[in-house]
Amino acid sequence: MSVLTSNELTPSSNLLAQLPQESIPVQARVALPMSREEMEERGWEEIDIVFVTGDAYIDHPSFAMAILCRVLEAGGYRVGIVSQPDWEKVDDWQRFGRPRLFYAISAGNMDSMINHYTANKKVRNDDAYSPGGKIGLRPDRATLAYCQRARQAYKGVPVIAGGVEASLRRLAHYDYWSDKVRRSILLDAKPDLLAFGMGEDAILEIANRLDAGETVQDLRDMRGIAYATGAKETPPENSITLPSYDEVVADKKDFAEATRIIHNETNPFNARRLVQYHGDRALVCNPPRYPISQDAMDSIYGLPYTRKPHPSYTERIPANDMIKDSVTIMRGCFGGCTFCSITAHQGRIIQSRSNDSIMGELNHMAEDPNFKGVVSDIGGPTANMYQMRCSKPEVEAICRRQSCVHPKICKLLGTDHKPVIDLMKDARQVKGIKQVKVASGVRMDLARRSPEYIKELTRHHVGGLLKVAPEHTDPGVLNLMRKPSGDDFEHFTDVFHEESARMGKKQHIVPYFIASHPGSDLDAMIHLAVMLKRTGYRPDQVQDFIPAPLDVATTMYYTGIDPFTQKPIYNAKKMRDRKFQRALMQFFKPENYFEVRKALEQAKRTDLIGSGCDCLISDKPPREAYEKRREDANKRFRGEYVHTIPKGQKRKGRKKQSRNQ
């Protein structure tokens, strides 16, 4: 199939860079309306776009709904936000009356199933994106329910789905929670269009074209748009046809092949249109939108956000506590980690803000009387990819490489850390700023190329603890993850500790590792546990692998095949095996003793049981281990699992049974 030329699909508009910027003091900024009363206070008789989201409305540029709605507002549109609506009735969708242009639907910042359930498929105890951290304020598969209510609210109003959930489920995908391949969310949610990836450019173009009198059918020529054809429609030419829904359900090799093709068509400069048949209907997925310019990034982040939750909330929102004093400096990630959705959603081309734009935001933060002077993070998907890009655009335009840093760093990748070092230095000089922390993940293989960056980071931007994500120690697992070797982690930690000691600071590395990732068997996890024992790291939390829709690692988990090499891969799918891996990562906890012991015995590694320096557990169980086992047994045989006789009721047949004995 031929590659689509740039004029075969509407090019990315440059309207974002031209959005009007108003210099409004932080204290004078006003949140967008969430009620009809607020709409009328603005003197509006109707709403142009109703934005429905599964998250609480926090007017901060770290949240998608805030950015998208502010972009629409700057584009001259009247926007009303319906946050965490009651999906069991249509009333909230009718709150503002009939929207003039369209409903914009998003499940929120996360896939709703990942938001609701742990890797063990248990209901989570809280929701960071809800007031008070309450659970249950959005439904499972929220995009489906929200689109359905939008269609019911007012017939004929276009419904546009977007956000992470819709993006990652736009084609046939494996769903971990139902353990089956589900069809495209387009067929279940039935929006008119689905906008995938980062949405500012797309949502503004949609609004402009609908406002100009075009129909949703006309918008099918847009980049970053997916749609379902009618049964009698013919999909566009110059497309790649994926294995059909029926084929990927019937054959895991076809599912793996579909994944390989999808991920090979992610570079917007050479990606081709994809078509996947679901019965007699075709799902059409246009190429991704082009990356936006630095001017556009500056324009987006320069809009008048209040940086606060909507004033109607009376309870704290945990996600706001975490990000309220943070600053986003870039988006995108060229790491291409197989277990991560960032590259699939934000793209692998880095899009950065200018230094002036970032300093402007820091100055606005310092103006706020409630600001305490500590910036919790300047970063993005990573801390040190700021301003990094392929050094040869002509090569970037034809490249189909999945990662710019794996299996080794591409020689054409610009890895200069000077822009981010200068940014860090400038941020510390802003009046009213006492400390600037870096909490985003540091890409250690890149940092290794810049000793000055590690020094600058260690000396000035660590608040005692620095989180890094080596993810594993086993070379085979790291290769499947597309993560660098353990040497980079060791080098980074050595330099970090040396610099900390030189400055007289007591600072520590907090490494994150993943249990039960495809390829990780008991031997691999034991190797990791021994490393943790030798280095003294004691992870507070275990990051358990969750197969998210569309990720390459999810295909490995479901099919047992690497979609790019076709080689078989081990997966820990049984709950017992997953418990073993979690326990091994926290072998030092007494309550994990028996699980660790069983895992070591199963792997024939009883040499690690005893009092040796590398031994993970002693040969005698601690008292806490017995208590934990007793507690677990009580849970299994409590209440509905045990037949109990109400007090005072006779036990019929007992005497007769005794006589028979």
pLDDT digits (tens, 9 = 90+) for 331-358: 999 999 999 999 888 999 999 999 999 9
Cα–Cα dist 83/449, whole Å: 44
Angle between helices 252-264 and 552-559 (to 10 degrees): 170
- Token pair 């479901």 is found at 558
pLDDT at 572 over 70: yes
CATH number corresponding to 465-639: 3.30.750.200
pLDDT tens sequence across 67-105:
999 999 999 999 999 999 999 999 999 999 999 999 999
Domains of the chain, by residue range, sit at 26-227, 325-461, 465-639
CB 77 within 8 A of CB 47: no
CB 297 within 8 A of CB 361: no
CATH class of 26-227: alpha beta
One-character DSSP codes across 597-636? HHHHHHTT-GGGBSSSTT-SB-SS--HHHHHHHHHHHHHH
* Architecture of the domain defined by 325-461: 2-Layer Sandwich (3.30)
According to DSSP, the β-strands at 102-106 and 159-162 are parallel
Arithmetic mean of pLDDT, 412-418: 97
Identical fold, 26-227 and 465-639: no
Cα–Cα dist 646/612, whole Å: 53
pLDDT of residue 437: 96
pLDDT tens sequence across 429-470:
999 999 999 999 999 999 999 999 999 999 999 988 998 999
This prediction has a pTM of: 0.91
